[in-house]
């Protein structure tokens, strides 16, 4: 049976609602209720929820529904560790494999971030995410980009829950650190690009830890 043409839109909407906290961690999603809310049959809703389960955003609760995944401080620590493993390597490879289009491409993304810095924190964070993915894209490794997208999705969820993290991650120093990464890539200096990215991720970790100190748990499913 062919999927409903509204299925991809539903999937995108549900994913966005989870990542932005509109569907809160620990909330149980029920097919009939979502079908009524979106004006669809249960089939495309079930298909979308199965994809979200495969992505790790929800967990199947037999005969009950789908639980929006919670995340503990330990979970977030694991996400930050993964970023530290993936992104310095990506930056170094981007420098080594840079083409004539690499710097203009990254510069365009960074210029957009600069325009948004100091404005809406969510838009600025979205632009910062775009820069990280653009750097990974220049490493010419599709699997690395796909892995990083998943990791950054988890980071996005934390941004919407931790008090104060949005403002910190949209601070001008974020732009300064991104500029240092771009400069190293432009110079074709892989080790320097890796170091710049590693230093930036240390700043991210410090911002997260500072906000974690203000709350006993990040997300609770109970």
pLDDT, tens digit, 9 for 90 and up, residues 11-58: 999 988 887 778 888 899 999 999 999 999 999 999 999 999 998 889
Mean pLDDT of the chain: 88
Tally of domains within the chain: 2
The reply to whether 91 and 114 lie within a common domain is yes
The reply to whether 103 and 194 lie within a common domain is yes
Containing H/E element for 68? strand 65-68
CA distances, 197 to each of 101, 107, 126, 180 (Å): 20, 16, 18, 8
In contact, 6 and 48? CB cutoff 8 Å: no
Domain of 38 in residue numbering reads as 7-68
Q: Judge whether 2 lies within some domain.
A: no
Question: How would residue 153 be classed by pLDDT, with cut points 50, 70 and 90?
Answer: confident
Which are the contacts of 106, defined by CB distance < 8 A and separation ≥ 6? 94, 131, 134, 135, 138, 182, 185
Q: End of a domain among 68, 97, 116? A: 68
Beta bridge partners of 29: 66
pTM for the whole thing? 0.77
Residue 128 sits at φ, ψ, to 5 deg, of -65, -40
For residue 135, pLDDT over 80 is answered with: yes
**Which region among 64-73, 81-90, 98-107 has the lowest average model confidence (pLDDT)?**
64-73
Q: What confidence tens digit (pLDDT) does each residue in 198-217 have?
A: 999 999 998 888 877 765 54
Q: What is the pLDDT averaged over residues 53-79?
A: 88
pLDDT value at residue 191: 98
Question: How would residue 3 be classed by pLDDT, with cut points 50, 70 and 90?
Answer: very low
pLDDT value at residue 169: 65
End-to-end CA distance of the chain: give it in Å, rounded: 38
Q: Judge whether 1 lies within some domain.
A: no
For residue 128, pLDDT over 50 is answered with: yes
The pair of structure tokens assigned to 186 is 């432009």
The reply to whether 57 and 117 lie within a common domain is no
Question: How would residue 166 be classed by pLDDT, with cut points 50, 70 and 90?
Answer: low
d(CA 91, CA 121): 25
Quote the percentage of the chain above a pLDDT of 70. Answer: 89
Burial of 107 by CB count in 10 Å (0-12 exposed, 13-18 middle, 19+ buried)?
A: middle
CA distances, 83 to each of 74, 87, 113, 197 (Å): 14, 6, 20, 10
pLDDT value at residue 2: 42
State the number of CA atoms in the 13 A half-sphere of 209 facing the CB.
9
């Amino acid at each position: 049976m062919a999927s409903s043409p509204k299925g991809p839109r539903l999937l995108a909407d549900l994913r966005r609602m989870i990542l932005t906290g509109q569907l809160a961690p620990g909330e149980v999603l029920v097919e009939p209720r979502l079908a009524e809310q979106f004006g669809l049959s249960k089939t495309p809703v079930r298909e979308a929820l199965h994809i979200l389960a495969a992505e790790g955003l929800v967990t199947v609760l037999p005969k009950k529904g789908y639980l929006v995944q919670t995340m503990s401080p330990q979970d977030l620590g694991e996400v930050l560790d993964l970023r530290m493993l993936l992104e310095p390597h990506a930056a170094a490879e981007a420098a080594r494999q840079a083409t004539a289009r690499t710097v203009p491409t990254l510069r365009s993304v960074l210029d957009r971030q600069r325009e948004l810095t100091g404005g809406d924190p969510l838009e600025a964070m979205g632009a910062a995410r775009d820069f990280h993915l653009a750097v990974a894209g220049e490493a010419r490794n599709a699997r690395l980009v796909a892995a990083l997208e998943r990791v950054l999705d988890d980071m996005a969820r934390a941004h919407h829950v931790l008090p104060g993290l949005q403002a910190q991650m949209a601070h001008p120093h974020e732009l300064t650190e991104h500029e240092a990464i771009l400069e190293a890539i432009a110079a074709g200096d892989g080790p320097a690009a890796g170091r710049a990215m590693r230093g930036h991720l240390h700043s991210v970790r410090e911002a997260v830890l500072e906000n974690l100190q203000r709350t006993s748990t990040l997300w609770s499913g109970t």
